Structures are given as structure tokens and as C-alpha cells.
Amino acid sequence: MPTKKRIALAGSEHHPMAGAKRIKAAPSGELMTVTVVLRRRSDVKPSKTAGKPGERFASRVEYAAIHGADAGDMAAIEKFAHTHGLTVMELHAESRRIVLSGPAWAMQEAFGVKLSHYAVRGGPQYRSHSGSIQLPAEIHAAVMAVLGLDNRPIAKPHFRVHKKKKAAAPASFTAVQLAGLYNFPTGVTGAGQTIAILELGGGYSAADLNTYFSGLKLQTPAVTAVSVDKGQNTPGSAADGEVMLDIEVAGAVAPGAKIAVYFAPNTSQGFSDGIAQAVHDTARNPSVLSISWGGPEESWSQQAISAMTGALEDAASLGVTVTVAAGDDGSSDGVTGGKAHVDFPASSPYSLACGGTKAQVVAGKLTEQVWNETASKEGATGGGVSNIFAIPAYQTAAKVPTQVNTGFAGRGVPDVAGDADPTTGYNTIVDGKPQVIGGTSAVAPLWAGLVALLNQQLGASLGYFNARLYAISPPVLNDITTGNNGAYSAGPGWDPCTGLGTPEGVALESALQTTSTAAAAAKK
């Protein structure tokens, strides 16, 4: 018989979505899956050990052996599942995940919750629970998160289609042109690298990719669709713009790299599982992960943030650079009420958060300012200060202000930037039609492509290189000092609109090469 003593799982509470109303109890036979995320066998502190010049990152096999799930913990969860009539669908010791399946009645009994369906007028229907998940005492300490009981759509893509929707706007660019303007290294193509891209909807077609890349006189890169939690490459929705933008930008910048697109459901379970699956993928071994989806920090449960942060910590220790869009709704991040918010997972200290600029060529010279087109309802770069994550060590000298509303000394967002204004956006092909698209969604794959080039040039993965980036002196990025995103303004050095600035590829490569060479010499 299962134990009667239960303990609340901290951070598992969910608040209803704005405007949501409970419509009915979940039918007892409704089938669902959940992901149970476990603690590490041995803790890791990538913020102190990863990203140093000349460092050898652990292999995925080595890392799993040391920091994967404890066999005893996994066995205890399996026993718990069988006791409550749940089926063990997947076991992932390396990423500390167990996927369980079963009907609603069994899930309610196992996790001590009452499941209900909710509806948002003019919006989605979803399943959730009130109060905390209650776990038996014998497994409570082993569990970080239980994801999937709540299946609300949690994130949105951070792209903006130029309103005029012309085949090409006078000020728009191809990704190849922007790579040239940002002086990306030449003579390298990203060969030997795999760029992972996480998508929570939409899809791509091979015909569109062939049309796009042939128009750039480039060979279409090898693109593979990977299913996460039964997510699929399903073109035919508005999210296709996100998927195609990500692939086309990353592929144009690093045409020699392979691209793996991980399709997951748009839920906290899908998002977390998508990161974990990409980071721990031993078949494709991605060295870069690009994420162009997210939501305001306050919209996530604490357990979802903990699970995703754990997966991003894994990426840092494994030498996987994670580039994340900072959002397209200015300093509010789309939240009403007039206060400042930042987007997660961009706000994670283990992300390379990517903000946006308006880029123009004047008299043959690239000029940039903060992207802010809120007056014309075409968005603005996200950025600001986290209310959840404390300021990381690599930002202590960056003069990050306290959070404008709470005074919290938090992680500053973004770290870097790139062209994102839809009026100066990227020429793409989506569902057979040319479109000009902007948004910080374009900046994440732009930087992911650059990292792939740098990895090839340097002969090693940059991985979690935030500390190295902030330590480069004198700075080698294009400092953006004009404009604002609402609550925050740009200025010399790091700022909460464009971070350290936009790419200056060759200068960045040279600075990273110098630090790597110096570190290697110091080890001799």
C-alpha cells in the first residue's frame, strides 16, 4: 500500500491564466503523460567551472556517469509509478527524466491533486490543478519537478512579420548580408558542427528550404526533424514563420553545419524535455542550441524554471552554447500593468540572451540603435533585470542596475544583440511566399550560426562562454548607445536593451583565440 504521509513539492503551484475559468473536472479516463525530473547524483556548478579558455568539456557519457540520475532514485520512481497504476514510458538517466503515462484518476491519486479543465475566452483550453503536487515522503527528496499535469501553452515565438509583407522591404537584408556587415569570419562554414533548434509548433518544408538557399546560391544544409514528446514537423500554422526563420538564418550563416530541429509541444513539459533531449543527444551531438520561444518570468511555475535551469546547466557543462531570444515586447515583455519584466529562459544565467537593434546601412556604413517600434505596433527588444535570478559573477563588473520596480539585484538581460526590427528585417521564404521577418527570434539563430563558425575556427566548442565574453578588454562588440525599450535606455558598455552589443565577428574570434592560446600556454 502507498504511504499516507505526503509532502508538498515546492514550486509546483499553478495560477490560472488571465481570464481563465474552470469548466469541468478532468474525465477520469483522460490519458496523459508526465515527466518526473530528478535530482543529480552529484551536483555541478558550471557557473564556476565552464567556459574557461582551454577547458575540456566533459563528454555526454562522462557527464551522465557523474551527474545523471541515481539508480536508486529511478528505481523508487518506477516502484511509485507501478503502485499507482502508471506506466513507465521512458527512462533517461543522463538527463534525470522519467516519463510516465496513465489516466487522470491514477495521476490524481499518485500526485495528490485534482485535475480540471479551464478555458480562456477567445483563447486556449488547458488542463491544470489547484494547489501543490503532493508526493510520498519516500520519493519527495529525489524529485525536482513533475511536468505535464498542467498543459497550458507556456511560451510564444519571438518573431515579427513586417506589416507591409512585401517580398523585400527596401531596408531588409538576407542573413548572408548581415553576416558580412557584422564581419563574421570567412573561410569557415560551420563544418563539423550541429546547430540544434527548439520549436514549440509549426514546421518546415524541404521545398521552401531548397528555394531559399538556392536563391542565396548556397547548398541546402542537412536538416533533421527530431520528435520530443510526440511533437512533429507540422507546417501549416502561423508558427511556420518562426521555424523557417530559425533554419534559414542559422543555415545561411553557417551553411556547412548540420541542423537538428527538435519539435516539442508548447507546454512547460515539452519545453523542458526539448532542451534536455537536445542537450543530451548523443546521436547528433549539437554544440549550439538556438531557442526563439519564451514567456515572462512570472508566467512560469517555479518547478518548471528549476527543471529548465537544470537542463541549461547541463548544456553549460557539456560545452553547448545556448542562444535565447530576449523577447519582442519591450521592457514590459507583453505584461499589462506598466511594470518591467524579462523573458525566460533568456533570463537564465546559463543562456546567451539575445536582444535586438534596428540596423541600417548609411553611406556604406552599418549604423544601429535599439529596436523600438512600439509607436507603429511593430515591437521592441526585450531586456531588463530578472526578478528571479541573482546577478551572476560574470556580470558583477557590468554595472547592471537593480530591477526598476522591485530593486532586486538580478541577472541583466540581454547579453548581446543583433538586427531585429521587422522594418530592417530578414528576407525569408515561409510556406512558399517571401516574407520580411524580424524579432529577437532572428538574433538567436544569427548568434548560433556565428558560434558554429567560431567553434570550427577555434577547433573547440565555446560552450558556456558568457564569462569570457564579459571579460574581453577592450570590448570587441559594436556598442549600441542610442535608444530605449521602455523602462531602460542604452548607453556606453552593457545596457538592458542590447547588452554588450552586436557582433564584430573577426574581432571576437581574435579575442577568443588570444585567450585560448594564453590559457593553453599557461597549462604547459
Q: Which residues are catalytic?
A: 242, 246, 441
- CA separation (Å) from 440 to 137, 202, 292, 392? 44, 18, 7, 22
Q: State the DSSP code for 230.
A: T
- CA separation (Å) from 523 to 90, 133, 459, 514, 520? 43, 49, 18, 14, 5
Residue partners of 349: CB distance under 8 A and separation at least 6 = 47, 389, 392, 411, 466
Asked if residues 281 and 119 have their Cβ atoms less than 8 Å apart, the reply is no
| The three grid cell numbers given for residue 71, joined into one nine-digit string | 539508480
Q: Which SS3 state, helix, strand or coil, does residue 190 take? A: coil
| The three grid cell numbers given for residue 140, joined into one nine-digit string | 519527495
DSSP sequence for 439-483:
SHHHHHHHHHHHHHHHHHHHTS---S-HHHHHH-SS--SB---S-
Q: State the DSSP code for 58.
A: P
Q: Beta strands of 187-270 (E only): which ranges?
A: 194-199, 223-227, 258-263
> Taking the CB of residue 279, how many other CB atoms lie within 10 A of it?
24
Burial 442-478 (b: 16+ CB within 10 A, else e): bbbbbbbbbbbbbbbbbebbbbbbbbbbbebeebbbb
Q: Looking up cell 509541444, which residue turns up?
A: 265
What is the Cα 260 distance to its own chain's centre? Answer: 15
Spatial separation of the C-alpha atoms in residues 302 and 411, rounded to whole Å = 17
Spatial separation of the C-alpha atoms in residues 198 and 182, rounded to whole Å = 25
With residue 215 as reference, give the H or E element that holds it: helix 206-215
Spatial separation of the C-alpha atoms in residues 108 and 439, rounded to whole Å = 41
Q: Beta strands of 273-419 (E only): which ranges?
A: 288-291, 293-296, 321-325, 343-344, 352-362, 365-370, 384-390, 410-413, 416-419
